[in-house]
Structure 1
Amino acid sequence: MNLSPDSAPTPLAPVGTDDSPAAGRERPDPHSPRWSARELRLLLALIWPGQLLVVAGIVAANAQPQIAQHFHTTQIAWFGLAFTLATILATPFAVRLGDVHGKRRVMLVLAAAGLVGDVITVFAPNYPVMVAGRVVGGLYGPVAVLVLAAVRDLFPPRRVAVALGTVAGSVGVLSLVTPLLSGWLLDEFGWRGALWFLVASTVVALLTLLCVPETPRRAAPGRLDWPGAVLLGGGLALVVFTAGQGRAWGWTSPGVSLAFAAGAATLVAFTVRELKVDRPILDLRMLGRRPVATVLVGSSIPQAAFFASQTILIFLALFPAIPHVSDGLGWTTTRVAVVGIPAGLVTFAAGVAVGAMVRRVSPRAVWYAGLVLLATGMVLAALYHRDTAQIVWTGVVMGLGGGILMAGQQTMIVSVVSPEEQAAANGMSSLLTQVCLTLTSQFLYTVLAGESTVLDGTAFYRDQAFTHAYLAMGAVVALGLLVSLAIPALRHPQEADSGTAGHPAEDTRAASDA
């Protein structure tokens, strides 16, 4: 697809201010408490592309045990790690191109690339080819970032918080349908059947994005900062690769130490360069403002723990019970999906509720409540995870905290950056979350491996492994809470488009009012 500025369509204004003939027939009032039909259609059109990344994660996680046993590999972590690494590397480019050419156009290109990767994965004859397909499929990842940034472009200010909460919290509803369908596919057709579902899902995302109007261009065309991109990609690749090989090589081995040092040095060089160039691939100057830095870092750490913790339940529920080898529950994937329905409903409800709550309550206070609930749920899951009832009610507590986190992160970002910075802030948030998720996942696998037995090339886990893993994720959430305590007072999201959001003087004034 041609991304040249000359061929791009005229950008459309946000919903409620569109002067196009179609808008003239409807002309929704942005101040009306009622949502127009056009706004509701747009909201629905953004949900599936925005949450496909999470849906793909659910399907991939459910399929991992079968894939590991089919290919007799102990390196199943790379099934997710390859996808994550590709997403990390593609995100800065996607954000920059979205600001220059329009987010819809870039999302369509990325979705098409992701579809190619999904097809490679489903036809993979061996594990290395499968990992390569996951790398290509990971190019879809930045679509989730661009969808969230597009919400602010396409909805009037008073709708933004609720729209973000609905898009972010909708993962709860999708996590009801996706596990049921993927579980049935896994039980009836094996892991290839589940991966075919991913192919179909990406096709649906492509078609849905065609219904989304183009967003305003917020950056002038110009050359991409290729040296900065190479430094960022190389540094992150080294750090992520080191995290992936830590258990195999030994965390204190010379190879791990050298690779990590090289990655850190490359990222330092990237930072120095980006602070000097006029058009950086990633605007690190935003991190010089306390509200932005604390929100992005403080929200990335606990979200990574929440997503990583889903892996614990997958291994706990799907792995068989083998005396002195495995303390899994031996459930079918379909049963796991049914048991997860209450948690999914709570996650969605919490996400929607956050959008309404932050109009009256500080986004920071809502965020703290979500962190406390999630950490509590992790501790409870560590103690109670041995039957259906225990997994249901501990999952509800974690789902409530997780729903608040996913929606709360977006409302806080809107509160501390300007509309022009929205996509860059979402991109930086995604990068930080993905890097934190990679490191947290490797930490999780290391904890699980402490109480595991390798049988016929597959690692099986004892009950203590699951207990320690949940406690470890609870500790990561607690770390996120400590960082989040440094977040200053935040304005309400509906006030963020008044022209002051993201400006240092106003951020300082907000902090002094805390």
Structure 2
Amino acid sequence: MGARFALIALALMWPTQLLSLAGLLGGNAQASVALHFRTTEIGWFILVNALVATVITPFVVKAADFYGKRNVMIAITLLGLVGDIVAALATSYGMLLVGRGIAGFYGPIAALAYASVRELFPPKHVGAASGLIGSGIAFVALGGPFLTGWVIDSFGFRGVMWSLATATAIGLLLLLTVVPETPHRAERTKVNWLGGALLGGGAAALTYGIGKGGEWGWTDARTLAFMLGGVAAVLLYVVTDVKAAHPLFDLTMMSRRSVWTVMLATALISATVFGTGVISQLLVLFPKIPGVSDGLGMTATHYAIIGIPASILILAVGFGTGVALRKVDARLPLGLGAALAAVGFLLQRQWHYGDTQLMLLGTVSAIALGLIVSSVPVLIIEAVTPDAQATANGLQGMIQGVFTTVITQLVYVILAKNSTVYQGTRFYHDVAFKNAMLLGAGLALLGLLAAALIPRLKRAQDIEPETAVAAS
């Protein structure tokens, strides 16, 4: 890969992996936020951001088709920066959630970045570039915890919010100065606003209903109304979008086995590993209070130190997988990653009480993550035609977003079943963490079954691409 292409790949890696950094920093800041604002609803600190990203993804992808991927990436990065600043200045939990919601506009950037690779790189470099961008999560995993540790231990959660604002500003600068505009444009047409409202409202209602199920009861009329209403709204979205003259997504592509199996497997497996990340964050960073909380009470810096081996493994495995995918069937690392993720959950369910256990068993999950993040973008490239790349990435991101918010909410519900509210803050017992890890293992195995349904696909470098515009 030439120097110019490498620079573009690195420039796309930064804003894309900022999503991972935001998830890591935000997740590690949860304990500090909960204790500062004395809230029992800390789950919404993560969920509101994910929900907004899910709601706006179809509109962002459509705008990228009309106005260009780079232009839209710049716009949503700017909105993300505004949201980060509002969150950093928040004087109440409500204001903090508003800022986190605005920052959610940044969420679809990964779909646009991966889709840009198809247009900016020659065919022989598409797989490697996608793998490089995906494996960049390792740099986040390696440096992010130390940044989090230093910032939280020194400046509290507000330091985290300002760190995110700074990182977002750097991503905006890279997009403005390094990344060229992509040539593909679609004819400007009307937008199916009704379909988008149904999709977003349905996802939000379903997530809210799941969150309240443990409090209201799973057979309570209010719980059922939100959950069933949410599912009905999503189904109505599908109906309206299929029939619309100008749909948000070309859902007809989902009629092909090669597409729907890739969408299902990649979204479920990715959502499982990312949506369950809050388990370890709450376990490690919440305090140890006999009879009240079974957290390990570590500092964020200590948590970063014991995570060094895992971070290095994510980097090595992610990079190695990206290179190997030139010759290896991308289904294999995805399936292996799902299987190892399940094993990692089951092992950590039994042993998660000290530094040595967390360090050793965390390597299993790290290998799984490296395999998954490198293979997902390549599978999407292989499943669809070049002109459908942005739509496919956006659709996968939307499905993954819905899965992630639902899984994350399920984790909080399971944790809350064995918890204690003390001085306005909810604390969790050991059995709660064990049950949540069991959920993660089950979901990873479901993802493995979904991966087994994917048919053999044509390799990325063998697919006729759009002409690369970054060539000198």
Alignment TM-score > 0.5, same fold: yes
Structure-2 residue corresponding to 1:233: 200
Q: 1-side partners of 2:202 and 2:275: how far apart?
A: 23
1:435 is displaced (CA, Å) by 0.9
Structure 2 counterpart of 1:327: 294
- How many positions carry a matched residue from both structures? 465
Superposition pairs of residues 277-316 of structure 1, within 5 angstroms: 277-316=244-283
Q: Partner of 2:462 in structure 1?
A: 495
| Aligned residues of 1:145 and 1:423 also touching (Cα < 8 A) | yes
What TM-score does the superposition give when structure 2 sets the normalisation length?
0.96
| Partner Cα separation in structure 1 for residue 423 and residue 16 of structure 2 | 39
The 2-side partners of 1:231 and 1:318 are apart by: 37
Q: 2:96 aligns with which of 104, 107, 130?
A: 130
Give the alignment of 1:266-415 within 5 angstroms.
266-415=233-382
Does residue 264 (structure 1) correspond to residue 226 (structure 2)? The answer is no
Equivalent residue number for residue 162 of structure 2? 196
Moved more, 65-74 or 440-449: 440-449
Give the drift of 1:232: 2.1
Distance 2:52 2:219 in 1: 26
1:126-275 to structure 2, matched below 5 A, reads 126-210=92-176, 211-275=178-242
CA separation in 2, counterparts of 1:99 and 1:420? 10
Distance 2:256 2:366 in 1: 31
- Among 49, 54, 77, the residue aligned to 2:43: 77
Pairwise mapping of residues 21-60 of structure 1 onto structure 2 (< 5 A)?
A: 35-60=1-26
SS of 1:222's equivalent in the other structure is coil
Aligned counterparts of 2:277 and 2:230: Cα–Cα separation in 1: 28
Aligned equivalent of 1:15: none
Aligned partners of 1:170, 1:490: CA distance in 2, in Å?
25
The CA deviation at 1:415 is 0.8
- Mapped partners of 2:462, 2:208: distance in 1: 42
Residue type matched to 2:141 in 1?
Answer: S
Aligned mate of 2:72, from 103, 106, 114: 106
Once residues 413 and 228 of structure 2 are traced to their aligned partners in structure 1, the CA distance between those partners, rounded to angstroms, is 21
Q: What is the one-letter code of the residue matched to 2:36?
A: H
Which protein has the larger Cα radius of gyration, Structure 1 or Structure 2?
1
1:347-403 CA-partner distances (Å, limit 9, x unpaired)? 122222222222222111222111111111111111111111111121111011011
Gaps of at least 5 residues in structure 2 are 467-472
Aligned partner of 1:359: which letter? Answer: R
Mark the CA change 1:236 to 1:446 in structure 2 (over 3 Å): closer, same or farther: closer
How far off is 1:494 after superposition? 0.9
> Structure 2: how far apart are the matches of 1:496 and 1:245?
47
Say if 2:412 is the partner of 1:445: yes
Shift in alpha-carbon separation, 1:463–1:265, aligned structure 2, 3 A: closer
Residue 429 of structure 1: aligned partner: 396
Find out whether 1:115 has 2:73 as its counterpart: no
1:127-148 deviations in Å (ceiling 9; x for gaps): 1111111111100111121111
CA distance in 2, matches of 1:486, 1:64: 37
SS at match of 1:275: helix
3-state SS of 2:276 partner = helix
Which range is displaced more, 449-458 or 281-290?
Answer: 449-458
- Please state whether the residue corresponding to 2:243 is helix, strand or coil: coil
Look up the SS of the partner of 1:386 in the other structure. coil
Deviation at 1:244, TM superposition (A): 3.2
CA distance in 1, matches of 2:215, 2:163: 32
Higher relative contact order, chain-length normalized (CA < 8 Å, sep 6+): 2
Higher mean C-alpha displacement, 58-67 vs 254-263: 254-263
| Contact 1:88–1:434 (8 Å) recurs in 2 | yes
What secondary structure is seen at the aligned counterpart in 2 of 1:454? strand
**Given that residues 218 and 420 in structure 1 are in contact (C-alpha distance below 8 angstroms), is that contact kept between their aligned partners in structure 2?**
no
Deviation at 1:459, TM superposition (A): 1.8
CA positional deviation for 1:327: 1.9
- Which deviations, in whole Å up to 9, do the C-alpha atoms of 1:247-285 show, x marking residues without a partner? 333322111111222222222222112112232112211
Partners of 1:243 and 1:438 within 8 A in 2: no
Contact persistence 1:362–1:491 (CA under 8 A): no
For 1:129, the aligned partner's letter is: M
Q: 2: distance between equivalents of 1:169 and 1:88?
A: 23
Judge which range, 244-253 or 488-497, deviates more.
244-253
Identical-pair percentage: 39
> 1:384/1:353 Cα in 2 relative to 1: closer, same or farther (>3 Å)?
same
Contact 2:131 2:374 in 1 (8 A): yes
CA distance in 1, matches of 2:208, 2:463: 38
In structure 1, the gaps of 5 or more residues are: 1-34, 500-514
1:71-99 CA distance string (max 9 Å, x none)? 11000101111101110011101111111
CA distance in 1, matches of 2:452, 2:233: 30
Is this contact kept in 2: 1:145–1:430, CA < 8 A? yes
Q: 1:471 aligns with which of 438, 457, 471?
A: 438
Deviates more, 1:439-448 or 1:106-115: 439-448
Paired with 1:90 and 1:49, the residues of 2 have a C-alpha distance of 17
**Bigger mean CA deviation after superposition, 380-389 or 71-80:** 380-389
Distance 2:311 2:117 in 1: 23
Name whichever of 490-499 and 334-343 sits farther off: 490-499
TM-score (norm 1): 0.88
Q: Which residue of 2 aligns with 1:418?
A: 385
Partner Cα separation in structure 2 for residue 198 and residue 89 of structure 1: 22
